[in-house]
Structures are given as C-alpha cells and as structure tokens.
C-alpha cells in the first residue's frame, strides 16, 4: 500500500447567487403566487420564469453556441493540462458557456504562458492571482 488515497477534488458549486431589483408591484405579484401555492418561494418562481424564457430561445441559443464555437457546460483546466500546452508551445483560447474552472494550483505565470484568451458566458472559478494575471485577456 502506497498510502495514497483517491484524488480529492474540491466540490464545485452547481449554481451562482445573483441579485436582482424588482418593483414592489412585481414582487407583490410573486408573493401572492407563492402564498396561493403556485410556487414554493420567490426563488422557485424566478427560476421557473428564467427557464421558461430560456426554453423560448433554445433554437437561437443553439445557433449562437455553434457559431461562436463555445464549449457547453463545465470545463476544467488543470495544472497538468496547462503544463502540457506549455511543453508543446501552444496557447489556449478558452470559450465556455457554463462554468470554467482553472485549478487552484495553477500559477499566474503558467496561466499567462498558456492562456491567450478567455471568454466565459456564465462563471469563471480561478484563483484571484490567476484572474488578475489574465485580466487583459478576459472578455
């Protein structure tokens, strides 16, 4: 036995908190629907409304994802991935719709040496120093 266990990866959150401002009347309407049992709470109503709007635009989103050549979903970039790119003398153009994660052990220097551009529609999780090092390459 080597004493090494399975690789432990930190859990990635499956959602991100956002803040919105609503008018009092709209908020009152939502509260009324919650009170009447149509929705379990305000968040349930808002998520349902957002999903319905996204469903209405499914075809346009699919076309745009294809046109912009976006990776869809969760995309992780490990230190090993970036070291392999560096050894090959290649640069990465990251385009993600969803969640892009740059591993915690990636140094700012390695990120700058291997990531040419970063376009994330959704959320980017990366060490603060890496985000700072790539600030001019993030759009």
pLDDT digit string (tens) for 77-94?
A: 999 999 999 999 999 999
Residue 104 resides in a domain: yes
Cβ-contact 107, 131 below 8 angstroms:
no
Over residues 38-48, mean pLDDT:
96
**46 and 80 share a domain?**
no
Q: Residue 37 is part of which domain span?
A: 24-56
Over residues 50-64, mean pLDDT:
94
pLDDT class for 138, splitting at 50, 70, 90?
A: very high
Residue 16 resides in a domain: no
| Residue 133: Cβ-neighbour burial (10 angstroms; 0-12, 13-18, 19+) | buried
Q: How many domains does the chain have?
A: 2
The mean pLDDT value of the chain amounts to: 91
Residue 36 resides in a domain: yes
pLDDT over threshold 80, residue 9? no
* Torsion sign, CA atoms 37, 43, 45, 48: negative
């Amino acid at each position: 036995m080597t004493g090494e266990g399975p690789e432990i990866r930190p859990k990635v959150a499956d959602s991100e908190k956002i803040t919105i401002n609503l008018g009092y009347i709209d908020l009152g309407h939502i509260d009324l629907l919650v009170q009447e049992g149509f929705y379990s709470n305000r968040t349930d109503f808002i998520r349902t409304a957002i999903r319905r709007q996204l469903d209405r635009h499914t075809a346009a989103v699919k076309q745009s994802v294809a046109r912009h050549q976006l990776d869809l979903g969760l995309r992780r970039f490990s230190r090993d991935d970036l070291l392999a790119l560096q050894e090959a003398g290649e640069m990465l153009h990251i385009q993600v719709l969803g969640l892009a994660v740059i591993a915690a052990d990636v140094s700012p220097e390695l990120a700058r040496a291997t990531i040419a551009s970063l376009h994330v529609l959704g959320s980017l999780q990366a060490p603060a120093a890496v985000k700072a090092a790539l600030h001019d390459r993030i759009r």
